[in-house]
Amino acid sequence: MTGLAALFLILSGCAALAYQVVWVRLLGLTLGSTAASVSTVLAAFFLGIALGSALAPRLGARRDLLRVYLTLEAVIGVSGSILLYVLLDLDRLIAALPFEHVAFEFTFTFLLLLVPTVCMGASFPVLASHVLRRPGQIGSGLGLLYAANTAGAVIGAALSGFWLIPRWGLDGANLVAAGLNFTIVALGAAFARAGFLSPPGEEPPSPAPDRIALPAGRATSRPRDRRAALLVLAVTGFSSIATEVGWTKYLVLFTGGTVYGFATILTVFLAGIALGSWAVRSRLDAIERPRTWLVGGLIALGLSLLLTRGALTFLPDALELVNGMEGGRVPRLLARFGVVAAVLSAPTLLFGALFPLTLSVYCGGATGVRSHLGRAYAVNTVAGVLGSLCAGFWLIPRYGTNALLTATALGTLLLALLLVSGIPSPRTRFAAVTTTLVGCAIAWIGPALSFEELIGAVRYPWDEAARSGVRPSFLYLREGRTGVISVVTYDGRTARLQNNGLNESIVDLDGTGGDSLTESLLGLVPWLLHEDPRSCFVVGYGGGVTVRALERTDLERIRVVELEPTVVEAVRSVWGARSGLDDERIELVYDDARHDLLVGEGGYDLVVSQPSHPWLAGASPLFTEEFFRLVRSRLSEGGVCGQWLNLFNMDVTTLRSLTATFYAVFPHGFTLAVPESGDLLFFGSRYPIRIRPDLLETRMTSPGVERTLSACGIRDRVDLLRRFAWSRREAVALSAGSRRNTDRNVLSEVRLAALNLRRDAAPPAAEDPYAFLRDHASFDLEPLVEAGAAPRVLTEVAERLIELDERRDARSALERLAHFDVEQAAVLEERLVARGRARAPDPRFPE
Higher-confidence residue of 89 and 646: namely: 646
SS3 track for 791-808: HHHHHHHHHHHHHCCCHH
Q: What is the dihedral of CA 717, 719, 725, 727, to 10 degrees?
A: 10
Q: Is the pLDDT of residue 603 over 70?
A: yes
Neighbours of 737 (CB within 10 A): 6
The 10 Å CB-count burial string (b at 16+, else e) for 560-584 is: bbbbbbbbbebbbebbeebbbbeee
Q: Starting at the earlier edge strand, list the strands of the sheet with 494-499.
A: 473-479, 484-489, 494-499, 502-508
Question: What pLDDT sits at residue 630?
Answer: 94
Which range, of 193-207, 218-232, 727-741, 802-816, averages the lowest pLDDT?
193-207
Instruction: Tell me the per-residue pLDDT of 258-277, one tens digit each, with 9 for 90 and over.
Output: 888 888 899 999 999 999 99
Q: Calculate mean pLDDT across residues 402-421.
A: 91
Higher-confidence residue of 13 and 106: namely: 13
Percent pLDDT > 70 in the chain is 88
Q: Is the pLDDT of residue 315 over 80?
A: yes
pLDDT band at 514, cuts 50/70/90? low
Q: What is the rounded distance in angstroms from the CA atom of residue 608 to the CA atom of residue 555?
A: 14
Q: Is the pLDDT of residue 171 over 80?
A: yes
CB 319 within 8 A of CB 240: no
Which one-letter amino acid corresponds to residue 239? S
Q: Calculate mean pLDDT across residues 72-82.
A: 95
Question: What pLDDT sits at residue 633?
Answer: 94
Question: What pLDDT sits at residue 323?
Answer: 75
- Phi and psi for 846 in degrees, rounded to 5? -65, 150
Q: Is the pLDDT of residue 660 over 90?
A: yes
Higher-confidence residue of 579 and 812: namely: 812
Question: What pLDDT sits at residue 42?
Answer: 81
Q: Is the pLDDT of residue 280 over 70?
A: yes
Instruction: Tell me the per-residue pLDDT of 741-794, one tens digit each, with 9 for 90 and over.
Output: 999 998 999 888 887 766 555 567 788 999 999 888 889 999 898 878 889 999
Higher-confidence residue of 71 and 27: namely: 71
Mean per-residue pLDDT of the chain:
85
Higher-confidence residue of 266 and 204: namely: 266
Residues 6+ apart with CB under 8 A from 773: 647, 673, 675, 680, 725
pLDDT band at 722, cuts 50/70/90? very high
Q: Calculate mean pLDDT across residues 581-593.
A: 90
Q: Calculate mean pLDDT across residues 188-213.
A: 58
Higher-confidence residue of 580 and 357: namely: 357
Which range, of 357-371, 631-645, 741-755, 780-794, averages the lowest pLDDT?
357-371
Residues 6+ apart with CB under 8 A from 759: 323, 332, 459, 460, 461
pLDDT band at 420, cuts 50/70/90? confident
pLDDT band at 216, cuts 50/70/90? very low
Q: Calculate mean pLDDT across residues 502-509.
A: 86
The 10 Å CB-count burial string (b at 16+, else e) for 533-553 is: bebbbbbbbbbbbbbbbbbbb
Q: What is the rounded distance in angstroms from the CA atom of residue 728 to the CA atom of residue 531?
A: 20
The 10 Å CB-count burial string (b at 16+, else e) for 345-379 is: bbbbbbbbbbbbbbbbbbbbbbbbbbbbbbbbbbb
pTM higher than 0.75, yes or no?
Answer: yes
Question: What pLDDT sits at residue 838?
Answer: 46
Which range, of 41-50, 281-290, 345-354, averages the lowest pLDDT?
281-290
Question: What pLDDT sits at residue 211?
Answer: 38
Question: What pLDDT sits at residue 492?
Answer: 84
Instruction: Tell me the per-residue pLDDT of 524-550, one tens digit each, with 9 for 90 and over.
Output: 999 999 999 999 999 999 889 999 999
Percent pLDDT > 90 in the chain is 42
